[in-house]
């Protein structure tokens, strides 16, 4: 028989749902609020009583930010996606090989090299911005998307390696050995056996990499200052520096900016949890 303290009584249930409701309102209301703001006509946004349910629905905010305005969100979205997808693909590609070496090969200096990567990733970004800016200027990488991509790879590749490493560690040696007995080389065994089983790890590290890349702001601001190369965070920050802040347009842009990260996170939720806890919970 189960102890009564392990079971939820009616009162327990009420308390649980009460706090659950507060928690969910706190974390989700801001999303509800920007979506509602983004679909209301300008006139109703600045009335003294906010509409919790919009009286009139319009898509004029979305049309105006996607058209050719001063702040063009369509271009910013495209730039952000180019950068985020390139960074993710490169990180996954090189991450697979490095993580495999760290997880399954025995070699001198393996540990210290792994630690060096963690340290590189933990460096405060602001400390690297001046040299990055000056060096990039010399080699012509300021005001290019390639510059953003190179910079972000150096910060995100260690995270990808860390997550893949924790996946590769859990794959039993026997699987790899049986492929090797059949005559496959180590690299073949990695590509044919280990990579396919580690698909969840690839998804997890890929989505995490993508989300971080889409959000990167400070370093992008340091090396890009032309509107046509603005990524979403840069374009959004532009709204604040303008004299009149138009929240209809801002919230519409914000909704577009979070669309991809949020969709990916919801679809791949389980994998992401596993990836985020890779460095924090014993495998």
Partner 1 sequence: MKTSIKNFFDFEKSDAKLAAALIAPTFILVLGVVAYPLIYSFVMSFGDVEFANIKDYNFVGFAQFKKVFTDPDFINAVKVSARFIFSTVFIKLVIGTLIAVMLKESFMGRSLARALIIIPWATPFVVVGLMWKWMLHSKVGVFNFLLLKFGIIDAYIPFLSTKTFAMPFVITADVWQGTPFFIIVILAGLQTIPDELYEAAYIDGASRIKAFFRITLPLVKFPLYISTILGTIFAINSFDLFFVLTKGGPGNITTNVTLFNWNNAFKFYHLSYASAISYVILIFSMMLTIGYVTLMRKEK
* Contact positions with partner 1 (CB under 8 A) in 244-283: 247, 250-251, 254, 257-258, 261-262, 264-266, 269, 272-273, 276-277, 279-282
Q: Tokens in use for 197?
A: 């089983």
Contact predicate 240/253, CB 8 Å: no
Closer to partner 1 by Cβ: residue 27 or 68: 27
- Length of the chain equals 283
Give the CA dihedral 49, 53, 55, 58, nearest 10 degrees.
Answer: 110
Asked whether position 101 contacts partner 1 by CB under 8 A, the answer is yes
**Is residue 178 within the footprint of partner 1 (CB under 8 A)?**
no
* Interface of this chain with partner 1, residues 117 to 136, rule: CB under 8 A: 117-135
Q: Residue 223 contacts by C-beta under 8 Å, 6 or more apart in sequence?
A: 132, 133, 136, 141, 142, 143, 147, 148, 151
Least distance between partner 1 and beta carbon 196 (Å): 18
Indicate which single residue of 63, 116, 139, 199 sits in contact with partner 1 (rule: CB under 8 A). Answer: 116
Task: Give the total of residues touching partner 1 (CB under 8 A).
Answer: 105
**Cβ closest to partner 1, residue 37 vs residue 88:** 37
> What is the closest distance, in whole angstroms, from the C-beta atom of residue 63 to partner 1 in the complex?
20
Q: With binding defined as CB under 8 A, does residue 206 bind partner 1?
A: no
146 counts as binding partner 1 under rule CB under 8 A: no
Q: Per-residue string for binding with partner 1, 17-56, x by CB under 8 A?
A: x-xx--xx-xxx-xx-xx--x-------xxxxxx------
Structure token digits, residue 101: 């070496």
Distance CA 246, CA 83 (A): 27
Q: Which of 222, 224, 229, 252 binds partner 1 (CB under 8 A)?
A: 222
> Considering beta carbons, is residue 110 or 199 the nearer one to partner 1?
110
**Should residue 82 be labelled a site residue for partner 1 when binding is judged by CB under 8 A?**
no
In the chain, % helix, strand, coil (3-state, to 5) comes to 75, 0, 25
277 contacts: CB under 8 Å, gap ≥ 6: none
Residue 167 or 239: the one with the smaller Cβ distance to partner 1 is 239
Asked if residues 44 and 55 have their Cβ atoms less than 8 Å apart, the reply is yes
In angstroms, give the least distance from the CB of 15 to partner 1.
10
In whole angstroms, the minimum distance from the beta carbon of 160 to partner 1 comes to 10
What are the structure tokens assigned to 264, written together?
């990916």
Task: Determine the Cα–Cα distance for residues 142 and 224; give it in Å rounded to an integer.
Answer: 6
Helices 145-170, 199-215: axis angle to 10 degrees equals 150
- Our finding on whether 110 is near partner 1 (CB under 8 A) is yes
158 touches partner 1 (CB under 8 A): yes
For residues 88 and 117, give the distance between their C-alpha atoms in angstroms, rounded to a whole number: 18
Choices 54-62, 63-71, 95-103, 194-202 (CB under 8 A): range interacting with partner 1: 95-103
Q: How far is the CB of 182 from partner 1 (least distance, A)?
A: 14
Q: Cβ neighbours of residue 86 under 8 Å, at least 6 residues apart?
A: 149
């Amino acid at each position: 028989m189960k102890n009564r303290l392990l079971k939820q009584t009616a009162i327990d249930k009420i308390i649980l749902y009460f706090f659950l409701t507060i928690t969910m309102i706190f974390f989700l209301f801001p999303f509800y609020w920007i979506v509602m703001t983004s679909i209301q006509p300008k006139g109703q946004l600045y009335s003294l009583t906010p509409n919790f349910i919009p009286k009139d629905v319009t898509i004029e905010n979305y049309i105006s930010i996607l058209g050719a305005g001063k702040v063009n969100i369509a271009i910013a979205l495209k730039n952000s996606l180019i950068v985020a997808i390139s960074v993710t693909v490169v990180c996954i590609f090189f991450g697979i090989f490095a993580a495999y070496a760290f997880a399954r090969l025995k070699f001198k200096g393996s540990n210290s090299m792994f630690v060096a990567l963690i340290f590189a990733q933990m460096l405060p970004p602001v400390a690297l911005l001046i040299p990055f800016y000056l060096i990039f200027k010399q080699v012509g990488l300021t005001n290019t998307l390639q510059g953003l991509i190179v910079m972000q790879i150096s910060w995100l590749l260690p995270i990808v390696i860390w997550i893949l490493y924790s996946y590769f560690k859990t794959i039993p040696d026997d699987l790899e050995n049986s492929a090797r007995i059949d005559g496959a080389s180590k690299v073949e065994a990695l590509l044919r056996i280990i990579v396919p089983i580690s698909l969840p790890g690839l998804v997890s590290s890929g989505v995490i990499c993508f989300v971080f890349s889409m959000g990167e702001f400070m370093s992008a601001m340091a090396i890009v200052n032309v509107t046509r190369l603005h990524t979403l965070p840069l374009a959004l920050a532009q709204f604040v520096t303008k004299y009149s802040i138009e929240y209809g347009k801002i919230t519409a842009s914000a909704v577009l900016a979070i669309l991809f990260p949020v969709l990916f996170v919801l679809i791949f939720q389980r994998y992401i949890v596993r990836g985020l806890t890779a460095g924090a919970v014993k495998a």
